A and B are shown apart, each in its own frame.
Chain A
Amino acid sequence: MNDLIQKLVEAYGPSGFEDGMRALIRPEVEPYADDVSVDALGNLIVHKQGDGSGLKVMIAAHMDEIGLMVTHITKEGFLRFTNIGGVRPHGLWGSRVQFADGRIGLISSDRITDRSKIHGLDKHFIDVGATSAEDCPVEVGAAVGFARPFHANGKFLTAKSMDDRIGCVIAIEALKRLQNTPHDVYFVFSVQEEVGVRGALTAANALDPDVGLALDVTLTGDVPEAHPMSVSLGKGAAIKVKDSGMIAHAGLVKLMRQRAEEAGITHQLEVLDGGSTDARSIQIANGGAAAGCISIPCRYVHSQSETVHADDVEASIQLLVEILANPIEL
C-alpha cells in the first residue's frame, strides 16, 4: 500500500487544480466501480451499487492539497505569492515547490533583520531560476504545490499532503475490499476542501445521501507541548464526535463504535477544537444527512511532513468496510 500512498502524496494538486489527481485515482477505482463520473466542479464520483436493501451513503475524501498561487513577478524574475488554503509562513524558508508542468522552484524570503519575528507570506518569494520578468517561465495565477518525497520510518509514514491523500487511499482500499454491500455507496474524491469544503457541498447537493462519512486527517495531542487533545498516533482510527464545524450524528457515532468493537478494530474518539471536514458540507446540504467522519490521526498537519501511522490507516480501512458491509440503522 505504501506504493499507492507514495504515488498520491507526491502528486501535484492544489485546491481548484485537481485534474492530475483525478487522472491518478480514476484507474485505481474504475475496475471496482459500477459507474464513475465527474461533476461540474471536478469531483470524481465513484458509484458502487448495493443490493437495494440499504441506504444511500456518500463517502468523501478530498484530493486537493494546500498550496500557493503566484501573484506577481518581480523585474528580476522572482515570484511573489499568496496562499491556497491554510499555509503558514513558518517552515516555508528553503521549501521546494512544484508547478503543474513539473517545474521545481524554491522558496526564500526578504532579508531577516529581526530573528524573533517571522515574515508574512508576502515577504517570501519563489525562485524558479529566471533572471527577469521577461524570461520567467511562470505566469501570474499559476497554482503551486509543495514538493517533498514520501518517507516511511517503519510504520510512521511522512509526506506532504497526507491531508488528505491518505483519506483517498483509504477510500480506494475500502472500495477494493468491499465485496457486497446493502448500500448504494458513492465514493466522492472531492475538490476544494482546503479552501472551504466547497466540492463536497455540490456533490452532496447532487447525490442527496442519507448518510455521509468523510475520511480526513485530524490533529493529535501526543507531541511535546501539544494543544491538549486525546487523539494519539498509532492508537487506531479516530471516530469524530465533534469539530469546530460539525457535531457528528450521535446515532452514527454509536454505530461506528459498535462496528469497531464487534470487529476488534482499534479506535479512539475524537473532539477537534479547530478545523472541519467535508462531512460538514454533507451534513447541511439539501435537507441534511446523518454525517460523521473517520479521522486519521496525523502529526504536523499542514506542514510538509505530515505524519500518520500505518496501523491507524489499516484500522480506518477496516472500519469503513465494516460500516459499509453491514446495515446502517440510525
Chain B
Amino acid sequence: MNELLKNLTEAVGVSGDEKEIRRLIRDLIADHVDEWHVDALGNLIAIKKGTGVSDLRVLVDAHMDEVGLMITDIGSDGMLKFAAVGGFDPRSLLGKVVQVGPKKLTGVIGAKPIHLLDAGERGSVVQIDAMRIDIGAKNKEVANGKVKIGDRAAFVTEYEELGPTAIGKAFDNRAGCAALVELLRAKPYPFDLIASFTVQEEVGLRGAEVAAYGVQPDAALVLECTPAYDLPNENDVSPNVALGKGPSIYVMDRVTIQDPRLVAHITRTAVAHDIPFQIRQPGGGGTNTATIQRTGAGIPAATIAVPGRYAHTPALMINLDDYANVVKLAEAVLRGLTADVVKRN
C-alpha cells in the first residue's frame, strides 16, 4: 500500500480552505528541505538547497487543493444548500457521501429515488442549485449548531489499490503532490529546488500566480493529474491519454503553449531513461503552467501529469506504474536540467 498516496488523497483541502492538506504536506517534507514558509494566499513554499553546481533556481509546482462544495444556506428543514467549488458535472454528485466542515460531519447529497421519478425527471439532469446535502438534522436549529455557511464539503473515498491501479478521491492533484514530496525526499539537485504546493488551482490557477511572482524562478515544472479518456470507443479518435501508457506530457492546452525546449528536454530524458510517455492530446484544459509562464519577464515552464480517469468526480483511478514513472521522469528531468536547456540567444 502506498501510504503517501493514501494519506494525501484522504486528507481534505477544498480550494480556499487548504489548511489540513497543507499541514500534512508540511510534516511530510519538513525534514527534507532547508526552509519553508506559507505565503499570504496559503501556498506552501519550500526550498531544497542544491549542491551549488548550477545557479539556476527551479520551481516545481503541484496544486494541493481539490474540487468540492461550499455550504451556501441552511433550509428550515435542516437541509444544506451548496455551490460548487471548481468544475463539476452535476450528474456526478447525486447520492454521494460527503464530509462537511472542520468537524467532518457525514452527509449525503440527496436524490429522489428512481421509484418516484416521473418520465420527465428521468430524462433531465438535476442542477446543483436544486440539490441538498442531508446531514440528518431535523430542522434549521439543529443544523445551525453543526454547520456554518461557508463551510466546505469534500468527498469521502477511501484509498484502495486494485493491482496496478488505485482508486481514491482528489488524485487531481494529490498525485502531483505525492510526486513532489518524493522529489524533495531525494538527494540534493545541482541547483536550488523550490517547491510550491499551491492553493486555489481549481478555481482559476490563483495560488500559482502569486507563488511564481514571489519565487521568480528561472524555469518551472508543473506536476499534475490529467484526465484520461481511454474507455473503449469504436471511432478512431484520440484516446487523450490512457492509463498505463506512462507520464503524460503537455504540448498545448486551452491556456498555455508549453515551452518547446523544456518539452524536448522531457521527451529526450524519457527516451534516454527508457521511461514510457505519451503526448497529451493538445487542445482543452489548463494548468498552473499558464500563470507561472506569464509571471514577470516570463518563465520557461512545462507540465508532466499522471493520467487519471474520472477527474472531478468522487472517485478517480490512476495506474501506479504511471505514477512511479512520473516521479522517475521528473527527477531525471531535473537532474539533467542545465542553463543551456532554457537559454535564449
Contacts and interface: CB of A to CB of B under 8 A. Distances in A.
A15 B260 CA distance: 11
A261 to B, nearest CB: 37
Interface stretch (A38-46, A175-183, A232-240): A38-46
Contacts of A70: 282
Interface stretch (A5-13, A199-207, A321-329): A199-207
B78 interface: no
Contacts of B294: 198, 201-202
B260 A38 contact: no
Interface in A48-64: none
B293 A72 contact: no
A258 interface: no
Most buried by A among B293, B297, B300: B297
Contacts of B281: 71-72, 140
A141 interface: yes
A213 interface: no
B260 A71 contact: no
Contacts of A41: 293, 298, 300
A17 interface: yes
Nearest to B299: A40
Contact of A192 (B257, B297, B342): B257
A82 interface: yes
Given A16-B257, A74-B236, A195-B257, A69 B282 contact: yes
A21 interface: no
B297 A39 contact: yes
A42 B297 contact: no
B238 interface: yes
Given A71-B238, A198-B294, A40 B342 contact: yes
Contact of B236 (A17, A40, A75): A75
Interface string B89-110: 0000000000000000000000
Given A41-B293, A71-B238, A192-B257, A82 B282 contact: yes
Contact size range, A = 20 to 34
B129 to A, nearest CB: 31
Interface in A165-210: 192, 195-196, 198-199, 201-203, 205-206
Nearest to A73: B238
A69 B251 contact: yes
Contacts of B345: 38
Interface residues of B, number: 25
B4 to A, nearest CB: 31
A140 B282 CA distance: 8
B283 A39 contact: no
Contacts of A195: 257
A139 interface: yes
B17 to A, nearest CB: 30
B296 A141 contact: no
A80 interface: yes
Interface string B317-345: 00000000000000000000000001011
Contacts of A74: 236
Interface string A69-105: 1111011000010101000000000000000000000
A82 B236 CA distance: 16
Interface string A241-260: 00000000000000000000
Contacts of B299: 40
Nearest to B253: A82
A324 to B, nearest CB: 24
B252 A80 contact: no
A38 B298 CA distance: 11
Interface string B252-286: 10010110100100000000000000010111000
A195 to B, nearest CB: 6
A84 B344 contact: no
A145 B345 CA distance: 24
A206 B283 contact: no
B231 interface: no
Contact of B298 (A19, A39, A69, A84): A39
B186 interface: no
Interface string B217-242: 00000000000000000001110000
Given A41-B293, A71-B238, 20 more contacts: A15-B257, A40-B298, A41-B298, A41-B300, A69-B251, A69-B282, A71-B283, A74-B236, A80-B237, A80-B238, A139-B279, A140-B279, A140-B282, A141-B252, A195-B257, A198-B294, A202-B297, A205-B296, A205-B297, A206-B297
The 9 closest A-B pairs by CB, nearest first: A16-B257, A202-B298, A72-B238, A206-B297, A141-B251, A38-B344, A40-B298, A41-B298, A82-B283
7 contacts: A15-B257, A69-B282, A140-B281, A141-B252, A141-B279, A202-B296, A202-B297
